[in-house]
Amino acid sequence: MLKFLLFINSLYLGLGSFFSFFIAPTLFRVLQKEQAGAVVERIFPVYFGIGLVVSLTTLFLGFKYGRLIPVLAFFNLLIHAIHIFYVLPTAHSLKLTDYDAFMRWHGIRN
């Protein structure tokens, strides 16, 4: 079971790294900014949803391996929940209502 937990968390980390360092930059290089943003905006809820499932799975199955794994899984779950229920809706709202604030929120403009 420990190998399974390590596998799903490693797979998720690899997925995030591949998306962050290859897919997203390629999208923004190949497509227009609005098109790339629309694609990324559709991917993020799925990506963070997968993270939520991986975190929940690790939280429930990790208890038999001590306290550290469930504690880390809980914090990971909390971070993913914040992304899904606060960051994504806030970013979407800012993008529609105040694009300059949206860009500042991403650290792109001052």
Cβ atoms < 10 Å from Cβ of 62: 21
pTM for the whole structure: 0.81
- Encoded amino acid at 9, one letter: N
Instruction: Kindly tell me if the per-residue pLDDT of 51 is higher than 90.
Output: yes
Q: Note the pLDDT tens digit of each residue in 83-108.
A: 999 989 988 888 889 888 888 877 77
Q: What are phi and psi of 109, to 5 degrees?
A: -120, 155
What CA–CA distance (Å, rounded) separates 50 from 67? 23
What CA–CA distance (Å, rounded) separates 71 from 87? 22
Instruction: Give the pLDDT score at 110.
Output: 59
Q: Note the pLDDT tens digit of each residue in 18-40.
A: 999 999 999 999 999 889 989 99
Please choose, from the candidates 44, 49, 74, the residue with its C-alpha nearest in 3D space to the C-alpha of residue 59. Answer: 74
Q: Note the pLDDT tens digit of each residue in 52-87.
A: 999 999 999 998 988 899 999 999 999 999 999 998
Instruction: Give the pLDDT score at 89.
Output: 92
What CA–CA distance (Å, rounded) separates 92 from 88? 6
Instruction: Give the pLDDT score at 14.
Output: 96
